[in-house]
Amino acid sequence: MSDRKSVFDAIRAARNGQGFTAGDVAAIDTLLDHLGVSKDGKGRQANKAGLDLIQGFESCRLTAYRDIAGIPTIGWGHTGPEVHMGMTITQEQADRLFDADTDKFEAAVDRLTKGKATDDQFGALVSFAFNLGADALAGSTLLRLHNSGDFAGAAGEFGKWNKARVNGKLVIVPGLTRRREAEAELYRRQA
């Protein structure tokens, strides 16, 4: 069950159709928040700290630009075959693209971590996947260490992903170094 309505329906059925008091609803909502069940049926969502981290490093541009690797990008770091130089979008479109992009990476991270990550670990891993792609996370030592429960080791892996191919050469990018440090810091938090 990935949405709250189905959870409430199942609890109601288990209680032989008995309704909920306001206190029951509040307690169930608190539990579902803690478990990362979204209110809109999307599945697990990155916490505010994770989303703020992504937006803080991506910033929002309403006119297409080339990122450091030369990839046409628009909005909050959105890429894809539909993005071309000269393209412009509205803030509302940028926000919708961000929502769709984060949904995709949240689902991938939830699947790859088998649903086992704290809220802050999850937010940090979504930021990582948003920036580098879910395939990079899937094949990483970072994910292997996370899934084995070696969280300190996993946190130490973020810093290894601070390079980009620029003009055919792999170079350390200061912005990526800062982003990986911020992701590792968020990952280490206990929330």
Contact criterion met (CB below 8 Å) for 65 and 46: no
Question: CA-to-CA distance for 46 and 105, rounded, in angstroms?
Answer: 9
Q: Which of 58, 106, 157, 183 is catalytic?
A: 58
Closest CA to 166 of 79, 65, 69: 69
Active site residue 181: no
Closest CA to 146 of 174, 127, 124: 124
Identify the helix (H) or strand (E) that includes residue 48.
helix 48-58
Contact criterion met (CB below 8 Å) for 179 and 131: yes
- Backbone dihedral region of 43: left (phi > 0), alpha (psi from -120 to 50 degrees) or beta? left
Write out the catalytic residue numbers.
58
